[in-house]
Amino acid sequence: MRRRVGADAPRVGLIPRGATGYKVQQAREMRRKPTAAESVLWLSLRRRGLAGLRFRRQHVVAGYIVDFYCPAMRLAVEVDGGVHQDSSQRDAERDAQLAEVGVTILRFRNERVFDDLTAVLHEIAAAGTPVAEEPEPPLD
């Protein structure tokens, strides 16, 4: 029996590395109920809207849910609102653990996303270059 491929194929067992079923479900729920600032930023990032880069929304990376993630740049973008004011220590520990696995984190306050979206987008685009595949050895 052949395995079906395509949009109608069942998605069995596709859990991102480092993600538990609970985290995946939690991320799905967060995608259904974004904050206002996340919605504004997502309109600019979705469908390769920023420099042709693909971003994922509420994506699980190394066991943590990040607001936006660009796998090509190993870049996580966090939009911080009032919830993050009391959790700066926890955010710092989380950022350090993500940095250990090679993920760069950019954080923006809600107000900055609302007031200066263009500057936020420029900063995200300038954060780095896409991660290249292993370079081929030179031909000598």
pLDDT tens string 62-117: 899 999 999 999 999 999 986 656 677 888 899 999 999 999 999 999 999 999 99
- Domains for the chain: give ranges and CATH numbers: 21-125 (3.40.960.10)
3-class DSSP state for residue 30?
helix
pLDDT classification of 17: cutoffs 50, 70, 90: low
What's 134's DSSP letter? P
Share of the chain above pLDDT 90, in %: 59
The answer to whether residue 50 scores a pLDDT higher than 50 is: yes
Is residue 117 within 8 A of residue 40, CB to CB? The reply is: yes
Q: What is d(CA 51, CA 126) in angstroms, rounded to the nearest whole number?
A: 10
Quote the mean pLDDT of the chain: 82
pLDDT of residue 57: 96
Where is pLDDT greater, at 130 or 24? Answer: 24
Quote the tokens at residue 63.
């066991």
3-class DSSP state for residue 118?
helix
pLDDT of residue 131: 63
